[in-house]
Amino acid sequence: MMAAQRMTIAKALNAALRKAMEADPKVLVQGEDVGKLGGVFRITEHLQKDFGEDRVMDTPLAESGIMGTAIGLALRGYRPVVEIQFDGFVYPAFDQIVSQLAKLHSRSRGAIKLPVVVRIPMGGGIGAVEHHSESNEAYFAHTLGLKVVFCSNPTDAYWMLQQAIASDDPIIFYEPKRRYHEKGEVDLDVPPTLDLFSARVVREGSDVTLACYGPMVKTCLDAAAVAAEEGRSLEVIDLRSVSPLDMPTLEASVRKTGRLVVVHEASGYVGMGAEIAARVTESCFYSLEAPVIRVTGWNAPYPPSKIEELFLPDLDRVLDGVDRALAH
């Protein structure tokens, strides 16, 4: 028995992969530089040494190839966990993800199951060059047949990744790369009661609901702490899954507070906030005291890193969104 341990999100993901590989010999890991190097973020560190090159594969530099062969391996009964090195490099694999991974189950009327996990380090805030800071969840959430989840803390990193690997549906698993080194207590023995696709109320409040996921959860919690000093009570919901969406948890909160601010790094235009706002408006219209507010990356490509702080929602912009919700 291992007691609760303090670890980073990165270490928790590594531990989750290790545990899943120990539990099921069909679990494989493949991607660029995941072997000897342990991945550019070291998420797969030491796994090749311990599980061998057949189970932890340094692939050729070709994302469509990585994705297509992962699907083939799944057809043969394996459970591949694919690492895409950075968010902006998933696009060569887009065709395989959208045309095959998402659709083979329905095309075959359920005969084919593809338990494939696609891990993507996502988001900005690390001072990187172009293509290394993207939030592309809306493309995948828009593709029915895929499920899309985000971890935001070490405990979720540890358990959600194992739940994703155990799921028989294909899952896009986003990791907030700028939070990789944030630490938290992880109880490695007690499985969570929450299933993979449920949202979690991470801070209770009564004035405004903040809905967020991935790297923005910490931003929203920080904002809620500052708001509390100013006498405002914010409820923070970590959505954890953006496809499917846990609407009951969100609706219960909005019925209580009457106000909703959705926060994400991706541009607002046709982003997750739009889907959430539409749904909440449909289901909670008479509880809403104000229109649903979105605080998001601006409607533009991700900028050069020197001004990324202007692009990304931060504590002040979240509080500004709260002000706008309360102005009604």
Ligand X SMILES: Cc1ncc(C[n+]2csc(CCOP(=O)(O)OP(=O)(O)O)c2C)c(N)n1
| String of DSSP letters for 63-93 | HHHHHHHHHHHHHTT-EEEEE-SSGGG-GGG
Termini Cα distance of the chain: 53
- Of these partners, ligand X, another protein, none, which one is at the site of residue 107 (CB under 5 to 8 Å by kind)? none
- Can 132 be counted among the known catalytic residues? yes
Binding mask 62-81 for ligand X (x = CB under 6 A): -x------------------
299 binding another protein? (CB under 8 A): yes
Span near another protein by CB under 8 A; candidates 87-95, 173-181, 187-195, 208-216: 87-95
310 binding ligand X? (CB under 6 A): no
Binding mask 243-282 for another protein (x = CB under 8 A): -------------------------xx-------------
- Judged by CB under 8 A, the residue of 303, 314, 315, 326 near another protein is 303
CB 83 within 8 A of CB 29: yes
3-state secondary structure 270-318: CCHHHHHHHHHHHHHCCCCCCCCEEEEECCCCCCCHHHHHHHCCCHHHH
In angstroms, give the least distance from the CB of 77 to ligand X: 28
61 binding ligand X? (CB under 6 A): yes
- Report 12-51 residues binding another protein (CB under 8 A): 32-33, 35-38, 40
139 binding another protein? (CB under 8 A): no
Q: Which residue has the tokens 């001072």?
A: 127
Nearer to ligand X, 4 or 61 (CB): 61
- The amino acid present at 123, given as its one-letter code, is G
How far apart, in whole angstroms, are the C-alpha atoms of residue 177 and residue 152? 10
In Å, what is the CA distance from 274 to each residue of 146, 201, 246, 308?
Answer: 19, 21, 15, 23
Binding mask 81-100 for ligand X (x = CB under 6 A): ----x---x--x--------
Report the candidate in 36, 138, 127, 135 with the shortest Cα–Cα distance to residue 86. Answer: 135
Contacts of 44 (CB under 8 A, 6+ apart): 14, 17, 29, 31, 34, 35, 38, 56, 83
126 binding ligand X? (CB under 6 A): no
Query: Which member of 132, 142, 181, 328 is catalytic?
Result: 132
What residues are labeled active site?
A: 132
Footprint of another protein (CB under 8 A): 32-33, 35-38, 40, 58-62, 64-65, 88-89, 91-92, 127-131, 268-269, 298-301, 303-308, 310-311, 317, 320
